[in-house]
Structure 1
């Protein structure tokens, strides 16, 4: 999917692009592009999506919200 997706987080709108193609329930890692930076989201043992190697400057709360948004969108 290369269409931009939107999310509202902390009363701000963000646009991100999912780079990973063919997302299914078996997908364990998803690559996204947010503000020109690429991030990898991985599924942990609880079924939540977390960013790999995210720092405080990368807004981990926003990345977690994007993971939840993708999970709901693709019914993962």
Structure 2
């Protein structure tokens, strides 16, 4: 498992882990854990990252912010 990564979203701190190994520009799917829940981020046809199976109960804004954070960190 990777080291925990932090993000501040709406004035709260969150910690998540990236489970996917060796992320490159060709990566189309990234697995993360957030608050004990596992999420899959997938790249859509525009090149943006979204949660694959998000429900209304999930924090969609937070997941999108994490996806943006990963995109900037790994230069996707």
CA RMSD of aligned residues (A): 0.9
Alignment partners' CA distance in 1, 2:31 and 2:66: 11
1:63 Cα deviation after fit: 0.4
| SS across alignment from 2:57 | helix
Unaligned runs of 5+ in 2: none
1:15 Cα deviation after fit: 0.3
Which of the pair is proportionally richer in helix? Answer: 1
Residue 44 of structure 1 pairs with residue 44 of structure 2: yes
Question: What is the TM-score when the length of structure 2 is the normalising length?
Answer: 0.96
Alignment partners' CA distance in 1, 2:60 and 2:48: 13
Alignment partners' CA distance in 1, 2:11 and 2:46: 28
| SS across alignment from 2:54 | coil
Segments ≥4 residues shifted beyond 6 Å: none
Matches within 5 A, 1:1-76: 2-76=2-76
Unaligned runs of 5+ in 1: none
